[in-house]
Chain A
């Protein structure tokens, strides 16, 4: 996979961009940060196996406290270009993580979107390398999962072997043997 030249913040591979924010945790807030992360992890949509993040264009997201909980990394991959969507990110998803960001420096008193943009810009670093194992958007991957589930249901039907002999279904038959 080749990534576009880093002429803009956030590398893009196909339709998907990487996005990493590095924050400084407020002194003494390490424990509160851990608690807010646990609360998020226990919330519907974020629980392991829920696969239902409230933002439908994010492939995955992680919060990583490091340096003895004095720093925090937020890393994600999302569909679209970081340039175009930064304002939207500042306007919407940021609010979902309010309880977490309360524990990092620079988040207090964001009076307007320009301040929010500055907050994100000051924390954002572009990856030195970024590769992906599939090219689809979240919407396409979800569709592919639904289609495969349906296909497996078809294969479980005793009549499948005969029906898949139809010439128009040859591409499906080719995927049916394993």
Chain B
């Protein structure tokens, strides 16, 4: 079969689930010398895992290597090839800030250095189920980096799953992932057949029936995927305080929190557990993603504006001019920072949040579409003034409508709970693409 996924060439990160528990390290490198950059890639390739090696058994640790536009340029990739990449990738995330709603405190002026700068060239993301395995692989990569004076480590972010197994806001996450055709993982939502491989990996047919636009040369583009990472600071104390102010008691507090997310903290979806949390359901991978919204058009169980229903509206938009399958994505978010202890409502000043990671073949119609049309905007649900109550670019005056019998509840003056600290668009080539990069010569420019 010509369309079979080349699992021996695709990097593992995009297709392999985040383990639980997990630890992770993200490192950003600047390439001051193209020759050193290419030699570093050659040294890193043996440390990488092809997708096939991780699909059957979780390995001890795996690393993904990705490049920014500036990074490819710094390595000496010919201009003709650079020009062939997706426009969002070429512009970079800082240039897309206004479009993405990264304004005010989330604006590039306030980003953590060096995020958003032209110094960010290579991104290394390493994930493992345990600290020792992570340390070993990160250390091997570090020794490789240290060999080359033309390479600078300019940023490092360590991540780990919180003891609760949940995000800093207290929710189980990473549940609603699409299954990808050809990978062999069964969908957790039987109502959503696996998406075409070309939605995630370049070089294969996508949901439109065609091939995704692929960077040239073929050897660089094929089996690659775009990776978007964002460091998102979560204002947990502000979030808890807001819910406390709006709720008459703890039960209502939990309910409003669930209405904003679309799931209870356990992961149990409102669509299946509308009235009270059901921890058993939340812990059951076979049931917690097995639902649609067709019996809840008014959002009495799960509000149309809830975070999870916005990010993946499932069948909610079947009668609109939108094809939901064109806007699915792989997410590999991990938590950074310590948990704010239970019950604390005052900000302790600790930086905590999520390293959001997207993998997909179409940064524009996947990541940017979902962010701008579904999370930041409310036109599609008939509420143009509302944005995502949890992660939307709130300015303190926003509302969130919670349908309810007999009278809907409307939360007002929602403060921003998530602040963008920076991020970048990257490209993770297949292993052959990496070898091609390593073999570039000055003459190839």
Partner-B contacts on A (CB < 8 A): 14-15, 54-58, 78-81, 84-85, 87-89, 91-93, 111-114, 137-140, 143
Closest CB in chain A relative to B228 CB, distance in Å: 17
Whole-angstrom distance between the alpha carbons of A139 and B213 in the complex? 34
One digit per residue, 1 when the CB lies within 8 angstroms of any chain A CB and 0 when it does not, for chain B 315-335 equals 000011111001000000000
Chain A residue with the shortest CB-CB distance to B211: A112
Q: Is the CB–CB distance between B373 and A137 below 8 Å?
A: no
- Residues of B within 8 Å of A91, CB to CB, are 207-208, 323, 326
> Which of B213, B326, B373 touches A80 (beta carbons < 8 Å)?
B373
Alpha-carbon distance A140/B373, docked complex (angstroms)? 17
Closest B residue, CB atoms, query A57: B320
Q: List 13 A-B contacts (CB under 8 A).
A: A14-B384, A55-B320, A79-B380, A80-B373, A84-B369, A84-B373, A88-B326, A91-B323, A91-B326, A112-B211, A113-B210, A139-B381, A140-B384
A92's partner among B210, B323, B369 (CB-CB below 8 A) is B323
B contact residues around A15 at 8 Å (CB):
379, 384
Give the distance to chain A from B150, nearest Cβ to Cβ, in Å. Answer: 39
- A112 touching B208, Cβ below 8 Å: yes
- Least Cβ distance of B304 to chain A in Å? 9
- Out of A58, A137, A139, A143, which one reaches B321, CB within 8 Å? A58
- Residue on B nearest A54 in the bound complex, by CB: B319
Count of interface residues, chain B, beta-carbon cutoff 8 Å: 22
A94, closest chain B residue (CB): B321
Q: Which residues of B contact A84 (CB under 8 A)?
A: 369, 372-373
Chain A residues, CB < 8 A from B349:
none
Nearest chain B CB to A104 CB, angstrom units? 20
Whether A57 lies near B384 (C-beta < 8 A) is no
Majority DSSP secondary structure for residues of B touching A = loop
- The residue on B at minimum CB distance from A58 is B321
Interchain CA distance A91-B365 in the complex, whole Å: 13
Q: Which of B213, B321, B373 contacts A78 (CB 8 A)?
A: B321
User: What are the residues of chain B within 8 A of A137 when measuring CB–CB?
Assistant: 379, 382, 384
Establish whether residues A57 and B321, one from each chain, have CB atoms under 8 Å apart when the complex forms.
yes
Chain A residues in 8 Å Cβ range of B323: 87-88, 91-92
B209 within 8 A of A: yes
Q: Contacts of B321 on A, CB cut-off 8 Å?
A: 55, 57-58, 78, 80, 85, 88-89, 92-93
- Residue ID in chain B nearest A85 by CB atoms: B321
Assembled-state Cα–Cα distance A55/B318 (Å): 9
CB distance from A13 to the nearest CB of B (A): 12
Report the separation of the CA atoms of residues A93 and B384 in the bound assembly, to the nearest whole angstrom. Answer: 23
Residues of chain B within 8 A of A54, CB atoms compared = 319
Beyond contacts A55-B321, A112-B208, A139-B382: 5 other A-B pairs, Cβ-Cβ < 8 A, are A57-B320, A85-B322, A91-B207, A92-B322, A137-B382
Q: How many angstroms between the C-alpha atoms of A89 and B379 in the bound complex?
A: 16
A114 to B209, CA, bound (A): 10
Complex: A87 Cα to B323 Cα, angstroms: 9
CB of B249, distance to nearest CB on chain A (Å):
25
The chain A residue with its CB closest to the CB of B374 is A84
Alpha-carbon separation in the docked complex, A88 to B366 (Å): 12
Which residues of chain A are within 8 angstroms of B373 by Cβ–Cβ distance?
Answer: 80-81, 84-85
Q: How far is the CA of A155 from the CA of B372 in the complex (A)?
A: 42
Smallest CB separation, B104 vs chain A (Å): 21
B18-68 contacts to A (CB < 8 Å): none
- Residues from chain B with a CB closer than 8 A to the CB of A58 are 321
A81 to B384, CA, bound (A): 12
Report the nearest B residue to A141, measured CB to CB: B382
A56, A80, A87, A93: most-surrounded residue (chain B CB, <10 A):
A87
Q: Is the CB of B379 within 8 A of A79?
A: yes
Nearest-CB residue, chain A, relative to B210: A112
Q: How far is the CA of A97 from the CA of B365 in the complex (A)?
A: 23
> Which of A87, A138, A139 interacts with B326 by CB under 8 Å?
A87
A5 to B11, CA, bound (A): 43
| Given A84-B373, A137-B384, A139-B382, A113-B320 contact (CB < 8 Å) | no
- Chain B residues contacting A140 (CB-CB under 8 Å) are 382-384
Out of A55, A57, A89, A93, which one reaches B380, CB within 8 Å?
A: A57
Partner of A112, one of B209, B365, B380: B209
Among B320, B369, B372, chain A packs the most CB atoms within 10 A around the CB of: B320
**CB-CB < 8 A to A88: which residues of B?**
321-323, 326
The CA-CA distance from A85 to B368 in the complex, in Å, is 12
Residue on A nearest B208 in the bound complex, by CB: A113
CB pair B365 A80 closer than 8 Å: no
The 3 closest A-B pairs by CB, nearest first: A139-B382, A112-B210, A113-B208
Q: Which residue of A lies closest to B327 (CB)?
A: A88
The minimal Cβ–Cβ distance linking A127 to chain B, given in whole angstroms, is 19
List which B292-342 residues lie within 8 A (CB) of chain A. 319-323, 326
User: Are the CB atoms of B210 and A56 closer together than 8 Å?
Assistant: no
CB-based nearest B residue for A113: B208
Q: How far is the CA of A14 from the CA of B323 in the complex (A)?
A: 23
Q: Who on chain B is nearest to A117 by CB?
A: B208
A78 — which chain B residues lie within 8 A by C-beta?
321
CB distance from A81 to the nearest CB of B (A): 8
A74 CB to nearest B CB, Å: 13
Question: Please, which residues of chain B bring their CB within 8 A of the CB of A57?
Answer: 320-322, 380
Which residues from chain A contact B380 at a C-beta distance below 8 Å?
57, 79-80
Contact A56 B369 (CB under 8 A): no
- CB neighbours (8 Å) of A81 from chain B are 373
